[in-house]
Structures are given as structure tokens and as C-alpha cells.
């Protein structure tokens, strides 16, 4: 199958613009041929997942693009890095690691990327609209863009997302194309509460991620969410336990007003029933400790806390009044943090143990003061990755459970 390139593509490929564009286009052409794309398409934005330092190769790639005169051609946001540039004193990192980690974040800015450093670019002013073609990295951002917004992106990994940003183009394949956005497996949710907790959405995400593999799930019977943060939690969990990049929730998400629309008039390849027992079991497997276990810390905001989540958390802190004994780390985007600071919303909140974290996340960067105790979280993604990444024991619970546990100094959870 031949790949059709337009005049602009050819110009970049032949080095008529700059060396960086030529290199990026060469990589995109190779990727396009590998996946069977017949042409490239224009994108309106990109989100880069390569700010997290994994070794010298990740820095070398960006430095070479800078040396080649590279500049992004579309608005381009940046995912979390390995360092909190806003609160550098929080990070416990040897200088030998800190220097390249900081440099990698700065290097992306030299390419013209925006200093967002958040895993939730949909919470910024660069949020795309329905139907927009974009090239996003970061699994939770990808599934949110496709599912909740109805924008269009594949799961772009490190380097490929940046090549798309440098060229303003992406391979026309996969979820960029309408015919590939059809639901494939149906999940029927039975026996759930009409006013569900956040944990229900996490549990549904865990189940559909594991059972869908790389197929597109359709969910029927999902209660209408309180806000899009509950859908954010569902998508993040699904992208953590599986390769989900798009889900359809019937009557909720924009491409699934009806079951027929979600499946493009066809039937599902498979139907899976999700019972209350399934939900409870999925959540139980996130915790490695029982209620009553001594608590070392709470970590919230994976994906990054939205402004609306802060507005739910801050009154809880004042009402329950946990002290400084158990720190409550909240990962959030720097734009959200700046808004809260401008409004004075965080004044005095350190008395309740609150520790805001920006630009990174506590499960990828050495920030937590103690790793020898239990850390409680309301995030399915954090609970899934943290034991392997930073070696902590985890307890999962809703936001209120987390705050009450911080006040008690031990794991306290309401009934499922």
C-alpha cells in the first residue's frame, strides 16, 4: 500500500524547511507505512508524553530536534516531567538525575511547546473540541479526548507525538477515522446505584480495561456522572489495566446517544455483564491492606486534580480537620494551582496537612516523605502503579475516605 504525501509533506521530507522537520517527517512516513496509513492528515494540537526522563536517549532525541531548528507547528502541551519546578524542595533526587530531568523539561519549551506539565491537558485552555484531529500522548488524556470530548487521536507514544507536533501532521489511520470508532464489546452494568460514588466509575474502568484489551468498549446502564471528573477516573482506570483509547457510555458520551449509534448499527462482538460483586472485587484488588492499617500519607490527583475536585476537597479538609501528622499530597496542573492561589483558596490549608504537587506525580517522582507505611488514594491509576513504581502499600478509597483516614491516622473506609 503506497503512502500519499502532499507538497508540504514532500517539502519537509526533502529537507527544504529545516533538518528537524525532515527527521520528524521521515519517522512519520515510516510509522505510517508500518500501520498501513494511506495518507497524513492535519492536526490542530498535540500533547507530548516525553517530558518524563527515562534516560539519555529521551533527552538526546529532543536536543537533536533543537539543533535541527525544530519548532512545533501546532499548539502543543506537555505532560508531567520528573521534577516539580514549582516546588523544587519537595523532590528527593540526586543531582546526577535532577540535571537531565530539568533539562528535558526545558528543552521541550525551546521547541515552542507550552509549559503545562500536566497529564490533564483537557483542563487547560488548549482543550480541543468535538471532532478535532489531534496527536496526544499520555493514556488518560487520550481516552478522555476521544471519549468525553469526542476529539480524535490514537495512542501516540514518546517521540511519535513530538514528530506530529513538529510537522503538524499525523497518519490517517485508527481512531482518526470514523469507521474505526465503532464499539466492539458491550458491557452491561446491572444493579448500580442511581447516584454513584467516584469509586464506581473507577471500578467500571478497571473491569472494561482488563476485559476489552484493545477493543472499543460500550457501556450501558452507567448512571449519569456528577461531572466529567468521574468519566476522567473511568477512562484513566481503563487505560491503566488495558489498551483502551476510546469508550462509549450510552446516553452520556458524545458518540453514543444510543446503543445503535455506539455500534454504528451493528451488533457487539461480545457482551459482558458487570454486577455489584464484580465492582466490589475490582476495587478490593486495588488495596493491599485492611481497614485500620496505620497511614503514612494520602495521595490524590492522578490524573491531575481539576479545579472542581479542589472545590470538593477544600471544604472536606475544613470539616474533617486532619492535622499535619498524615500529609495529603495533591497532584495538580500548574494552571489550576495558579488559579487557586490567585483566589486565595489555599491560604492556611497547610495546617490540614495539604501538600500541593505540580508538574509531576507522586507515583513517578520521589516526593513522599515516607515509603514505609500505607499510602491511601482515590485514584485507580495511582493504586495500580505505585506499588511497583515506588514500593508502597496502598489502600484505595473515595476522597472523603482518604481525608477521614488522614484525620484518624489509619485506613478508615465507608461500606462499599
Tell me the three state secondary structure of residue 69. Answer: coil
Instruction: Outline which parts of the chain fall under CATH 3.30.499.10.
Output: 295-408
Q: How confident is the model at residue 256 (pLDDT cuts 50, 70, 90)?
A: very high
Report pLDDT digits (tens) over 106-143: 999 999 999 999 999 999 999 999 999 999 999 999 99
Chain-centre distance for alpha carbon 173: 22
Q: How far is CA 25 from CA 9, 34, 169, 290, 394, in A?
A: 7, 14, 9, 52, 43
Tell me the three state secondary structure of residue 113. Answer: coil
Backbone region of residue 159 per phi and psi (left: phi > 0; alpha: psi in -120 to 50; beta: other values): left
Report pLDDT digits (tens) over 47-95: 999 999 999 999 999 999 999 999 999 999 999 999 999 999 999 999 9
How would you label 22-57 residue by residue, b for 16+ Cβ within 10 Å and e otherwise? bbbbebbbebbeeeebeebbebbbbbbbbbbbeeee
Q: What is the bridge-based pairing of β-strands 134-136 and 45-48?
A: parallel
- For 7-176, give the CATH class: alpha beta
| 407 DSSP β-pair partners | none
Q: How confident is the model at residue 371 (pLDDT cuts 50, 70, 90)?
A: confident
Q: What are phi and psi of 48, to 5 degrees?
A: -100, 125
pTM, to two decimals: 0.97
Q: What is the mean pLDDT of residues 10-24?
A: 97
DSSP 274-318: E-HHHHHHHHHTT-SS-TT-BEEEEEEEEEEEPHHHHHHHHHHHH
DSSP 198-258: HHHHHHHHHHHHHHHTTSPEEEESPPPPSSHHHHHHHHHHHHHHS-----EETTTSTT-SS
User: How far, in Å, CA of 256 to CA of 254, rounded?
Assistant: 6
What was the pLDDT predicted at 324? 84
User: How far, in Å, CA of 331 to CA of 359, rounded?
Assistant: 8
- For 295-408, give the CATH class: alpha beta
User: How far, in Å, CA of 66 to CA of 310, rounded?
Assistant: 37
Supply 342's cell numbers: 490567585
Q: How confident is the model at residue 213 (pLDDT cuts 50, 70, 90)?
A: confident
Q: What is the mean pLDDT of residues 387-398?
A: 96
User: How far, in Å, CA of 145 to CA of 152, rounded?
Assistant: 7
Given a cut of 70, whether residue 402 has pLDDT beyond it is: yes
Q: How confident is the model at residue 196 (pLDDT cuts 50, 70, 90)?
A: confident
Given a cut of 70, whether residue 253 has pLDDT beyond it is: yes
What is the pLDDT of the chain when averaged over all its residues? 96
Q: Which of 63, 105, 103 is closest to 80 using CA atoms?
A: 105
**Bond from prior residue into 303 cis (ω within 30 degrees of 0):** yes
- Helix and strand numbers (H, E) in the chain are 14, 14
The owner of cell 507505611 is 373
Q: Which of 353, 377, 386 is closest to 198 using CA atoms?
A: 377
Do the beta carbons of residue 216 and residue 183 sit within 8 Å? yes
Helix axis angle for 160-167 and 19-35, nearest 10°, is 120
Do the beta carbons of residue 336 and residue 123 sit within 8 Å? yes
User: How far, in Å, CA of 273 to CA of 148, rounded?
Assistant: 23
Amino acid at each position: 500500500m503506497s503512502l500519499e504525501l502532499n507538497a508540504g509533506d514532500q517539502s519537509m521530507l526533502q529537507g527544504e524547511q529545516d533538518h528537524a522537520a525532515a527527521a520528524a517527517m521521515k519517522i512519520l512516513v515510516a510509522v505510517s507505512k508500518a500501520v498501513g496509513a494511506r495518507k497524513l492528515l492535519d492536526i490542530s494540537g498535540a500533547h507530548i508524553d516525553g517530558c518524563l526522563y527515562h534516560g539519555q536517549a529521551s533527552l538526546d532525541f529532543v536536543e537533536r530536534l533543537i539543533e535541527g531548528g525544530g519548532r512545533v507547528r501546532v499548539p502543543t502541551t506537555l505532560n508531567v516531567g520528573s521534577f516539580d519546578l514549582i516546588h523544587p524542595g519537595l523532590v528527593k533526587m540526586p543531582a546526577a538525575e535532577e540535571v537531565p530531568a530539568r533539562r528535558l523539561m526545558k528543552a521541550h519549551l525551546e521547541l515552542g511547546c507550552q509549559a503545562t506539565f500536566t497529564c490533564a491537558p483537557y483542563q487547560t485552555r488548549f482543550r480541543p473540541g468535538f471532532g478535532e484531529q489531534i496527536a496526544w500522548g499520555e493514556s488518560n488524556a487520550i481516552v478522555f479526548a476521544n471519549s468525553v470530548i469526542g476529539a480524535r487521536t490514537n495512542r501516540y507514544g514518546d517521540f511519535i507525538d513530538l514528530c506530529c507536533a513538529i510537522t503538524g501532521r499525523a497518519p490517517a489511520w485508527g481512531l482518526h477515522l470514523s469507521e474505526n470508532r465503532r464499539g466492539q464489546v458491550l458491557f452491561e452494568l446491572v444493579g448500580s446505584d442511581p447516584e454513584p460514588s467516584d469509586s464506581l466509575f473507577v471500578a467500571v474502568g478497571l473491569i472494561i480495561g482488563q476485559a476489552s484489551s484493545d477493543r472499543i468498549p460500550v457501556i450501558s446502564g452507567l448512571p449519569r456522572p456528577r461531572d466529567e471528573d468521574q468519566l476522567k477516573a473511568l477512562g484513566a482506570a481503563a487505560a491503566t489495566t488495558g489498551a483502551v483509547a476510546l469508550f462509549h457510555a450510552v446516553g452520556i458520551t458524545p458518540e453514543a446517544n444510543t446503543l445503535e449509534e455506539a455500534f454504528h448499527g451493528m451488533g457487539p462482538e461480545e457482551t459482558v455483564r458487570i454486577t455489584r460483586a464484580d465492582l466490589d472485587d475490582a476495587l478490593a484488588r486495588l488495596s493491599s491492606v485492611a481497614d485500620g492499617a496505620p497511614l503514612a500519607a494520602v495521595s490524590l490527583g492522578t490524573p491531575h486534580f481539576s479545579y472542581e475536585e479542589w472545590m470538593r476537597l477544600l471544604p472536606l479538609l475544613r470539616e474533617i480537620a486532619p492535622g499535619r501528622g498524615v500529609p495529603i499530597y495533591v497532584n495538580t496542573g500548574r494552571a489550576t494551582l495558579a488559579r487557586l492561589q490567585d483566589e486565595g483558596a489555599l491560604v492556611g490549608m497547610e495546617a490540614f496537612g495539604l501538600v500541593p504537587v505540580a508538574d509531576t506525580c507522586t507515583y513517578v517522582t520521589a516526593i513522599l516523605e515516607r515509603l514505609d507505611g500505607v499510602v491511601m488514594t482515590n485514584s485507580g491509576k495511582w493504586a495500580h502503579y505505585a506499588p511497583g513504581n515506588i514500593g508502597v502499600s496502598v489502600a484505595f478509597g473515595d476522597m472523603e475516605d482518604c481525608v477521614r483516614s488522614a484525620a484518624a491516622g489509619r485506613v478508615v473506609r465507608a461500606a462499599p
